[in-house]
Amino acid sequence: MLIINKRNALEHAVKVLKQGGLVIAPTETLYGALVDATNPIAVRKLTRYKNRPLGKPYSIAVTNQDMAKKYVKSNSTAISLYKTFLPGPVTIISQGKHKVAPGIESENGTLGIRIPDYKLIIAIINKLGKPVTATSANASYQKRPYKISDILENISEKQKGLIDLIIDVGKLPRREPSTVIDTTLDDPVILRQGEIKLKDKNEVVSRSPDDTKNIAKELWQKYETFSGKRAIIFALVGEMGTGKTVFTKGLARARGIKDKVISPTYDIEEEYDNGLLFHIDAWRFEKSSELKYFNFAKKISDKSIVVIEWADRVSDVIQKYNEEAVIIWVNISYGKNETDRIINWGVL
């Protein structure tokens, strides 16, 4: 282990990193542990040093957005976050392109990107031509390192032996670790399983939440005749805050359900009055096929009544049941005035 100050730090660090070594260096947030993120042996060394549980991914540091593009597929949410917050202490998670060493990306193949606002690190990455790991230099569950002694006092001799180079610039100002933002839920594949085009365009304007509830009730009355003969699915599509849950409240009331209907975003599925109505929220789904974990096929064969919020996220699975079930697509969008909503519905 070699301890140096800032002078010649760049040359030393790059040399060590090229040989698969582990470098402890100052960053804008705290002392970080750097290895070449594309070198499997170096990454294994880092995991041994950090004493980190298997399966816990690392973020990588790159110099700019162009370099990030080589390693992740950035969606529009990620791109605007880059523009607004990077360089800076923010880590942005996207789908990885599997161009880094094993153990860097998460189990799901996602990868966190950092663009540090710290000259030395940027210079190191530039000269190395490869991304480095962006992780704190402390061992897992140990204190955040703002000075070298914070690290050395809390690790074993064995761990010390794994460090090849320490760049000591003294005590760093106390800063919080970077904020981690996951953008993968906004991936286009998830957002649009398939565009829903309604043949018959029924459109009404709702002026208030009560109006929306009444429209739901009228729609129920229109399709009630199928009840008990086929499953009935209300597939709700609409931006955040347009009133999908309000619409469901109207349906529940029309079904005579007294129980309070609330947003099922967290628990994903709510069942009212012993199966009189099922209320599913696909907002947190990663893949449309996850609908099967909620016994969707059985709900169809049981001829259940099901409301699905964010149905556009699972439209391909819903459409498989076009024959067996009556599927009413309901699209709610914002209107001109604060409480106005435009509601169209139709059957495919």
Partner 1 sequence: MKILAIDTSCDETSVAVTGGLNILSNVIWSQASLHAKFGGVYPSLAKRAHEERIGWVINKAMTNAKCQMKNINAIAVTIGPGLAIALEVGIKKAKELSAKYNIPLITVNHLEGHLLSPFAQPKNSKKQNIQNSKKIINSTLSKVTFPSFGLVVSGGNTQLILVKEIGKYKILAETQDDALGEALDKGARMLGLGYPGGAILEHMAEKGGAKVYQLPIPMSGKEKEHYFSYSGLKTAMYRLIQEQTAKNPIRKPSASNGAGELTKQQIYDLAASYQNVAFEHITRVTSSIISHYPSTISYLLVGGGVAANSELRKRIRKMCRKFNIIPLFPYSKKLCTDNAAMIGVAAYFKTQRKEFSEVITKLERIPRYKI
* Site residues (vs partner 1, CB under 8 A): 55-57, 59, 75-77, 79-81, 84-85, 91-93, 106-108, 110, 112, 176, 179-186, 188, 191, 209, 239-243, 245-246, 259-260, 262-263, 265-271, 284-287, 289-290, 293-294, 334, 338
Sign, Cα dihedral of 56, 59, 60, 65:
positive
- Least Å distance, CB 90 to partner 1, is 9
Q: Assess whether the previous peptide bond of 87 is cis (omega < 30° from 0).
A: yes
Q: How many CB atoms lie within 10 A of CB 129?
A: 12
- Least Å distance, CB 94 to partner 1, is 10
Contact 121, 27 (CB under 8 A): yes
Q: Which is nearer to partner 1, 124 or 215 (CB)?
A: 215
Q: Which is nearer to partner 1, 86 or 166 (CB)?
A: 86
Q: Which is nearer to partner 1, 17 or 216 (CB)?
A: 216
The tokens describing 19, both together, are 């040989």
Q: Which is nearer to partner 1, 79 or 172 (CB)?
A: 79
Contact 78, 182 (CB under 8 A): no
Q: Give the C-alpha separation, 333 to 206, whole Å.
A: 10
What length is written for the chain? 348
- Least Å distance, CB 283 to partner 1, is 9
Going by C-beta distance under 8 Å and a sequence separation of 6 or more, which residues neighbour residue 72?
Answer: 78, 94, 95, 96, 97, 111, 113
- Least Å distance, CB 85 to partner 1, is 6
Helix crossing, 209-223 with 244-254: angle to 10°?
50
- Least Å distance, CB 77 to partner 1, is 5
Q: Give the C-alpha separation, 141 to 32, whole Å.
A: 15
Instruction: Write the single-letter amino acid at 100.
Output: V
- Least Å distance, CB 156 to partner 1, is 19
Q: Which is nearer to partner 1, 12 or 249 (CB)?
A: 249
Residue with the two structure tokens 């439209």? 315
Q: Which is nearer to partner 1, 32 or 57 (CB)?
A: 57
- Least Å distance, CB 160 to partner 1, is 26
Q: Give the C-alpha separation, 46 to 37, whole Å.
A: 10
- Least Å distance, CB 142 to partner 1, is 16
Q: Which is nearer to partner 1, 21 or 250 (CB)?
A: 250
Contact 209, 339 (CB under 8 A): yes
Going by C-beta distance under 8 Å and a sequence separation of 6 or more, which residues neighbour residue 147?
Answer: 31, 170, 171, 172
- Least Å distance, CB 80 to partner 1, is 3
Residue with the two structure tokens 């703002």? 146
Q: Which is nearer to partner 1, 108 or 221 (CB)?
A: 108
Q: Give the C-alpha separation, 215 to 217, whole Å.
A: 5
Q: Which is nearer to partner 1, 218 or 239 (CB)?
A: 239
Cα angle vertex 157, ends 154, 162, to 5°? Answer: 100
